[in-house]
A = this chain, B = another copy of it.
């Protein structure tokens, strides 16, 4: 039975969740999946193009939509997806719910882990689909939508498995009453809250979707996935694999439905407001996220916009730091929710092991490192990827007009493989700490602001204020002084922002590792949820305890 087939995997994931040391079930190196997997993946991806996607096991479609365009080729993918009436989606989920709620946690965990194993077979298809919908480089597409997303999903399964088995399902309660006693049989049931909707985004259509999907499913709730109309294919492949495994094992594939829509007829609000929908996971803009959070009677998990800061105080090796930061701001052109935007640097410059470096020199060296990276044909295009959205492209091109001093203007960068790819070097602007109208908002895409501060105390004050008012998902800080480190930790943590100190080499503030790093804290305006803490799981079901007299 699937209830036991993956027990070792689940046990190891539960252990990893608690220990939070390095753990990964799905290797992040493409080569781990065989030498031919990459080429085969390109082929099978191409076979999906220019035809209807018929792999879903859902019935009752009302039409077909599809408007994906590759940010690399500017060509339409030509894949169309079935649409469904919202009432039908919700009622089919409801019909599938009862049997799933009464399926044991062990069986649910087994079946869901099996779905991940099936998704693994499509990692390279999904990688290519991700690349040509999001504009991520191949490597990021592979890792983020493949092994990293699967690891996050397994993390959700494991957290659910642990929480759902936390209490004995049945026990005898015996209360002594002098010479006699009262005996009750008690049973504890984790009652699923009801149908969930997961609303995806265009930049991370799988990574940001699977945690909510698996959190719902492990806790016994059916789920409907509403992808972004410009990034359907990657998650459609995953959903079809999930549905196949559900069906193969005697479960209703409508437990996990895809709900594609088109930009001229969006259904996210209709789904979210449907009385049959109880749980909503959302990744995207703050405006829509705040709307979802305000809906009465719904349990809501959001990841919204935030403004991430870099605090430069003092360093050992400035070159290593600058290299790390240049890569960090270039990676996927600032389209990650974890990408740093505001660099706070004291006007007096910073101390390094090799002596003091002035503010202007730090800025110049950062400029030089970014320019060298993006213009390196072997490194630049693969790091920058492409801009998912035309609007982001145009906004970034005009970013130099935002104000302040232009350190680097975001000009097009050539991608040798894809001549039409939407690629821009990051725009770097130097602004004064008084220019809060410029730096006090998320400038999504390849735009970096260097904010000149009086000193590190001023830096901390501004970074903290930003996180508190506008939210932050990450913060990078560089200091060689233990007291300053403690102060930054205290102040940023007090506004629920995690800090990464002194990163250099092959680790960047943008990265959040499954089984170890909580993703989004839930404590500041950047979102109210966190992958995958207990809250992300236990708010999806309710413990109900029944009692029965034992005669």
Contacts and interface: CB of A to CB of B under 8 A. Distances in A.
A545 B496 CA distance: 9
A547 B489 CA distance: 10
Interface string A370-383: 00000000000000
A549 B166 contact: no
A95 to B, nearest CB: 15
Contact of A545 (B507, B518, B538): B518
Interface in A461-496: 485, 489, 493-494, 496
Contact of A547 (B21, B501, B542): B501
A513 interface: yes
Nearest to A316: B551
Given A171-B20, A501-B548, A501-B549, A535 B538 contact: yes
A173 B20 contact: yes
Interface in A494-526: 494, 496-507, 513, 516-518, 521-523
A102 to B, nearest CB: 9
Contacts of A535: 535, 538-539
A80 to B, nearest CB: 38
Interface in A180-220: 182, 184, 186, 188-189, 191, 193
A498 B546 contact: yes
Interface in A300-325: 316
Interface residues of A, number: 62
A264 B542 CA distance: 39
A167 interface: yes
Contacts of A503: 547, 549
Contact of A175 (B19, B22, B182): B22
A547 B500 contact: yes
Interface in A1-42: 18-22
- Count the copies: 2
A530 interface: yes
Interface in A152-196: 163, 166-168, 171-177, 182, 184, 186, 188-189, 191, 193
B168 A505 contact: no
B20 A189 contact: no
Contacts of A494: 191
Nearest to A474: B547
A20 B501 contact: no
Contacts of A184: 507
A182 to B, nearest CB: 5
A183 to B, nearest CB: 9
B523 A534 contact: no
Contacts of A517: 186, 545, 547
A145 interface: no
Contacts of A166: 18
Given A191-B496, A521-B543, 13 more contacts: A18-B167, A19-B171, A186-B517, A191-B493, A489-B546, A496-B544, A498-B544, A502-B548, A507-B549, A521-B544, A522-B542, A534-B534, A535-B539
A516 B173 contact: yes
Contact of A504 (B21, B168, B174, B549): B549
Contact of A497 (B171, B485, B544): B544
A546 B490 CA distance: 11
Given A498-B544, A518-B543, A542-B496, A21 B191 contact: no
